[in-house]
Amino acid sequence: MFEARLVQGSLWKKLLDSIKDLLNEAIFDCSSTGITLQAMDSSHVSLVSISMNSDGFDTYRCDRNLSMGIHLPSLSKIMKCAGNDDIITMKATDDADTVSLVFESPNNEKVSDYEMKLIDLDTEHLGIPETEYSCVVKMPSAEFQRICRDLSQLGDSVVIACTKEGVKFSASGELGTGNIKLCQSASTDKEEESVVVDMNEAVCLTFALRYLNFFAKATPLSTQVQLSMSKDVPLVVEYKISELGFLRFYLAPKIEDNDGDN
């Protein structure tokens, strides 16, 4: 028996919205410690990792480990049926081929109940290497979304150069070039608006903007985003999901002489 009740149901909605375009299907692994999801996009260039801690839920019960193969666009459709203030409860029996979702309005006047079919997926569990990153940048998530959107007007890829002073995003294309420089905020009165660069070694990496724009769809989840970079390892774009856990996107850097397929 699996049951997870989340009072702040909008988190589920935002979470699904942020991954449904990148992933078509994924496995939700439920265990006594929480829910995790790891999946690669169809081109195998990026990876999504979600971790939701059992403590973050209002009630959480998982008697046996359960893997639910879910068609994400379908789940997203169902989640759209939930109001923003609704309490969302996810339920499944141990050997079920469906998952049920219960949406309760805050004043308990309305209860909706949805059941969705699960799908069979080949479990391709991925181990994510523990990596020390040369640069870790924390910045407002809305700012990151804006930068990615703006620079995709100019080109397919963005060069992220990270130095002590700050971080520079640049793109170039047929119509010209664009550079956006963010400096470390001197005073940090508002944490959510600060830009913090934590750096061991300067890095300069190129990424496909297409994917960064997919990642930026997670912006509503968190006011801050954290970018972790090292040479020749995938970039990590992390959004915290309040007390629940995190949503991380991994993206392989573009390699020279590669003409924009990733």
Partner 1 sequence: MCGRTACALAPDDVIKACSYKDRHGKYKQPSWIDAPGGQQYSPAHNVAPGAFTPVLLSAKHLSTKTAHPASPGGVSDRVVMPMKWGLVPPWHQGDPFKVPYETNNCRAEGMLEKKTYKVPLMRGNRCIILADGFFEWKSSKDGKQPYYFYFPQDHLKSCSVKNEVFESPNEKIVKTEKVQNMRVIYEDKKAFDSDLLLKDHSNEVYLKASDCKSYPVSPENNKIMTKACLELKREVDYTGDKSFNSKWCSEQDRCGDSWINTCIDNTSISQKCFVKQEACEGSWTDIDIKTKNETGFEVGEAVITSWKGHRLLTMAGVFDVWKADENAPPLYSYSVITVSSSRDMDWCHHRMPAILSTEEEVQNWLDFSSLPLSKAALLIKPKICLTHHAVSKQVNNSRYQAEDSVKPVQIGQQIATPGSKLMQQWLQSASPGKRKSQDSGVQKAFKAGGNLSQGSVAKKKKEKGGESLMMKWLKSGSPVKKT
Q: Which residues bind partner 1 (CB under 8 A)?
A: 40, 42-47, 123-132, 208, 230-234, 250, 252-259, 261-262
- Of the candidates 42, 56, 65, the residue with the CA atom closest to the CA atom of residue 9: 56
Angle, CA of 201, 195 and 252, to the nearest 5°: 50
Q: How far is the CB of 47 from partner 1 (least distance, A)?
A: 7
**Smallest distance from partner 1 to CB 51, Å:** 15
Q: How far is the CB of 130 from partner 1 (least distance, A)?
A: 6
Cβ proximity to partner 1, 170 vs 230, nearer residue: 230
To partner 1, the closest distance from the beta carbon of 210 in angstroms equals 11
CB of 225 to partner 1, least distance (A): 20
Q: CA–CA separation, 207 vs 223, rounded Å?
A: 22
Residue closer to partner 1 (CB basis): 47 or 167: 47
- Between 124 and 189, CB nearer to partner 1: 124
CA-to-CA distance for 169 and 235, rounded, in angstroms? 14
Residue whose pair of structure tokens reads 């970018």 in the numeric block:
227
Nearer to partner 1, 132 or 174 (CB): 132
Residue 37 CB, nearest approach to partner 1 (Å) = 14
Tokens describing residue 81? 């049926």
The residue among 87 and 212 lying less far from partner 1, judged by its C-beta, is: 212
The total of other beta-carbon atoms located within 10 Å of residue 12's CB is 24
117: CB partners within 8 A, 6+ apart: 74, 97, 98
Between CA 98 and CA 181 the distance in angstroms is 48
Nearer to partner 1 among residue 124 and residue 174 (C-beta): 124
With the C-alpha atoms ordered 220, 225, 231, 233, is the resulting torsion angle positive or negative? negative
Buried b or exposed e, range 124-156, using 16+ CB within 10 angstroms: eeeeeeeeebbbbbbbbbbbbbebbeebbebbb
